[in-house]
Amino acid sequence: MVVLDTGTGELLGEYQARTSEDASEWSSLLTDDARLSHSGAGRFGVAASSLETGEPLWEFEEDIPEEAEQFHAGEVGVSADTIVLSAVLAESSPAETGTEDGVGQTLSAIGLDAETGALLWEEEFSFTADEVEQPRLTLSEDGQALLLEAGGRDLSELRGQWLLDPFTRDELPGSAFSGGEDWQRVALLGDGYVEKSQDPDEVRYQVMDFDGSRREHIESAARPGEMAIHPGVVTEEGMLRLDYLTEDEWARGEVNAEFLSWENGASRLVPVDLSPNEPLLFQTEGSLDANADAPMLVPVPGAVIVVEESDLSIRAVGLT
């Protein structure tokens, strides 16, 4: 893993992947000062090590109740102030219940101080679902809103949704991503959310408040492969998305970052030179997969980084 300064691109550190005691690979996230590692393989915790020295800073691990027959650790959310852990626990399996009422389950969420790892809060939510699946955790980029969901592998199967303040665990009024199946999720905001819908020729983005009222709206021409590729990232001024597929073959072409303004819907293209990465790509011209050889946008404080979706990147480009 390579760590770069988001403002200058300066190399801050290089790290080898850490492995847990049972040899399952750990995934990593970053705070301002630390690298976070967590394992989803039967453990419920997170560890922090210094970005400067690599030395361990702190570690938090929650005991899994002995009566939990099934345990699924969820994603970890990170903001400037808070780290949120999630997991689903069930005392029985669907096969054991023998009923059509589903399995009683508990979504467990834990908030930690991002600097010290100190416990801020613990919360549990009960629900019933046919299967025991990993929970979904979405934390807004500004750290002001936390969305927890559970009960299904697909969005259409979800049985519970909880919208919280991630620092205090207070429930926030309203709901998120309530536009229905015609609207694709784009981003959770501290005071609302962004959704996208499209047809073959046109795409529509809207910013919604948690009370269901629409705040902003953009309509624009659809990109090649629009219905399959990433919708883009949200900024205060508009939407930033990548345009990189050729019209007919859906092959990797020139990479452009397109900015769409909330104010008037105006479009502006910024060329992004990722050509040094091309020899490492899969070169799947004519593939039915629109995400083959896809670049991606990674929002970080003060910038958005353009890099390859695969791990094969020689060059990354920062946009401010």
Q: What is the pLDDT of residues 138-190, one digit of tens each?
A: 999 888 999 999 877 766 667 789 999 998 889 999 999 987 778 999 999 99
Burial class (CB in 10 A: 0-12, 13-18, 19+), 181: exposed
DSSP 92: S
Average confidence (pLDDT) over 62-74? 84
Looking at residue 109, its pLDDT comes to: 94
Beta bridge partners of 38: 27
Lowest-confidence segment of 28-32, 152-156, 189-193 by average pLDDT? 152-156
List, for residues 81-96, the tens digit of each pLDDT value: 899 999 998 877 655 5
104, 167 Cβ separation under 8 angstroms: no
DSSP 25: B
* Confidence bin at 60 (pLDDT 50/70/90): very high
List, for residues 271-295, the tens digit of each pLDDT value: 999 988 888 776 555 555 556 678 9
End-to-end alpha carbon distance in the chain: 23
Query: Which pair of structure tokens corresponds to residue 251?
Result: 């092959």
DSSP 24: P
Q: How many CB atoms are located within 10 Å of the residue 294 CB? A: 20
Average confidence (pLDDT) over 47-68? 86
DSSP 293: T
Measured in residues, the chain has a length of: 320
CA distance 320 to 116: 30
**22 has a pLDDT exceeding 50:** no
Beta bridge partners of 187: 194
Share of the chain above pLDDT 90, in %: 40
Burial class (CB in 10 A: 0-12, 13-18, 19+), 21: exposed
- Phi, psi angles (nearest 5°) of residue 36: -105, 135
* Confidence bin at 33 (pLDDT 50/70/90): confident
CA distance 162 to 58: 29
DSSP 75: -
Show Cβ contacts of residue 297 under 8 Å, excluding neighbours closer than 6 positions.
230, 232, 233, 240, 241, 242, 257, 304, 305, 306
290, 225 Cβ separation under 8 angstroms: yes
Show Cβ contacts of residue 237 under 8 Å, excluding neighbours closer than 6 positions.
259, 261, 262, 263
174, 162 Cβ separation under 8 angstroms: no
Q: What is the CA radius of gyration of the chain?
A: 21
